[in-house]
Amino acid sequence: MTRMAIAGGLGVALLALSGCASFSPDGGFAPVQQAAQQHLGPQIAEGAMWARSDADRQRMAERVDALLARPLGMDDAVQLALLNNRGLQAAYAELGIAEADLVQAGLLPNPGFSFSRLSSGGEVELERWVFFNLASLLSMPLRQQVEQRRFAQAQTLAALQVLTLAADTRKAWVRAVAAEETLRYRRQVMQAAEASAELARRMAQVGNFNKLQQAREQSFQADAALGLAQAQQAQRAARERLTRLLGLWGAQLDFRLPERLPDLPAAPREQPDIERTAVAQRLDLREARLGVEQTARNLGLTEATRFVSVLEIGGKYSSFNSGPRETGWEIGLQVPLFDWGSARVAKAEAVYLQAVERAAEAAINARSEVREAYDAYRSAWDIARHQREEIVPLRRRIAEENLLRYNGMLIGVFELLADTRAQILAVNTAIDALRDFWIAQAELDLALVGRPTLSPRIATLPAAAESPAAGH
């Protein structure tokens, strides 16, 4: 067999080991878009775009401008966040990093070459060495499998970040719209308090009002002013939180929001098998399972290279100015005299056991989180419906009756004003309940696909407790 045939056969063998080491056209982004379409809907999922070129950025900027040209609904805000959030674009870059590692794992190790020239008297010896890292070559299929699972893990994580951003944007949008509604009602309360305080001041001047009654009205005016200041600060803070998620700045800060929250659904969603659904489709659990598989593969790679981690093969070609040429080959390996690889294997086994336990913990926590999220969702719906169908209509009927009593001169103007304040605060409490429902629904949606950040539920005092009507 000639040298050319040997070299050709070696080249074919190396090419077969290398596989197809190339980049995908979309950088592995297709599974992320599929997850967005499945859990967010086709329209919102249009915002899940990876800006990899100037043309992509220009197209995304045009869509951002189109969304900002009208008041931002809840779904519009989510789509805008997916298009414009720079942190999400940075998360997409992890796909490129993972794919580059995958392609790198499929590339043949570069050969080494050395050249030496020795002279002794009139004799000159030239040596040329070509060598390959044979251990790296033989372990390349295992390394490809490890990087393939890491790439799949990066895709799952990117999809989870898309869904998490969508849920966070929904909650921020709900809080921002509710804060603006609350601010409008707080201004109405302030107007009623100012009118009541001015009337009390005039009546006290003519001697028809004692100091205790006047102090009560002034106290309520001071409380209303404090509540208005707090509502203004809350509105600004909620809008800024939404602005950050939307990635807006400069002239884009003048975006518009609807005047009120969406209506309460006619009935809550019934999900009797919610735990099994969450365990089957939660992306963080899928990521944990991929982590366990990757760690197991890493353990196999560690076992395969525990004794021989350095193995090189090389060819030698020497020539002399006086004498025949010499050819040969050489194999070099690291002798496991002191390090038998037991420490590396023990570490890999411990890391594997750690990954298994964390995956089990994630599954247990997922069941609890989805139960808590669904319970909060149902409770929020019941509370919002009670506020809408019981408390607000009851306050409205009381206001109508008090107006009739005032027209009949059975009650005074201060009692009427106090009842008006109570009615406004009842509507404000209903807004808070509706806000909590939409936040609970966003958290439930996220709990079904990923790890949620559940908001603490704080009981709201009834509106009557904030009204000074009992003091009259």
Count of helix runs (H) and strand runs (E) in the chain: 15, 4
Identify the DSSP state of 251: G
Q: Which helix (H) or strand (E) holds 133?
A: strand 123-133
Q: What is d(CA 359, CA 287) in angstroms, rounded to the nearest whole number?
A: 9
Helices 283-304, 140-205: inter-axial angle, 10-degree rounding? 150
* Cα distances (Å, whole numbers) of residue 33 to 30, 40, 209, 277, 447: 5, 10, 69, 21, 19
**pLDDT value of residue 461:** 43
Cα–Cα nearest to 358, from 306, 292, 414, 270: 292
d(CA 411, CA 208): 15
343 burial class (0-12, 13-18, 19+ CB within 10 angstroms)?
A: exposed
Euclidean distance between CA atoms 139 and 349, whole angstroms: 19
Transcribe 160-225 into DSSP letters. Answer: HHHHHHHHHHHHHHHHHHHHHHHHHHHHHHHHHHHHHHHHHHHHHHTTSS-HHHHHHHHHHHHHHH
In 10 A of CB 68, how many CB atoms? 19
Whether the Cβ atoms of residue 216 and residue 468 lie closer than 8 Å to each other? yes
**In 3-state terms, what secondary structure has residue 266?**
coil
What integer pLDDT is reported at residue 472 of this predicted model? 41
- Determine the distance from the C-alpha atom of residue 215 to the mean position of all C-alpha atoms in its chain, rounded to a whole number: 51
- Dihedral (C-alpha) 464, 469, 470, 472: value to the nearest 10 degrees? 180
Q: DSSP assignment of 356-412, as one string? A: HHHHHHHHHHHHHHHHHHHHHHHHHHHHHHHIIIIIHHHHHHHHHHHHHHHHTTSS-
Task: Reduce the DSSP state of residue 132 to 3 states and report it.
Answer: strand
What pLDDT tens digit does each residue of the chain (472 aa) get? 444 444 444 454 555 555 556 788 888 898 999 999 999 999 998 889 998 889 999 999 999 999 999 999 999 999 999 999 999 999 899 888 888 888 888 877 777 777 777 776 667 777 777 766 666 676 677 778 778 888 888 888 899 999 999 999 999 999 999 999 999 988 888 887 888 778 778 877 777 767 777 777 777 788 888 889 999 999 999 999 999 999 999 989 999 999 999 999 999 988 888 888 888 888 888 888 877 777 777 666 555 444 344 444 455 445 545 556 656 555 554 445 444 456 767 777 787 778 788 888 888 888 888 999 999 999 999 999 998 888 888 888 877 777 777 676 766 666 766 777 777 778 888 899 999 999 999 999 999 988 887 766 544 444 443 444 433 4
The ranges assigned to domains in the chain are: 276-295+358-472
- Reported residue count of the chain is 472
Of 62, 38, 51, 46, which is closest to residue 88 (Cα–Cα)? Answer: 51
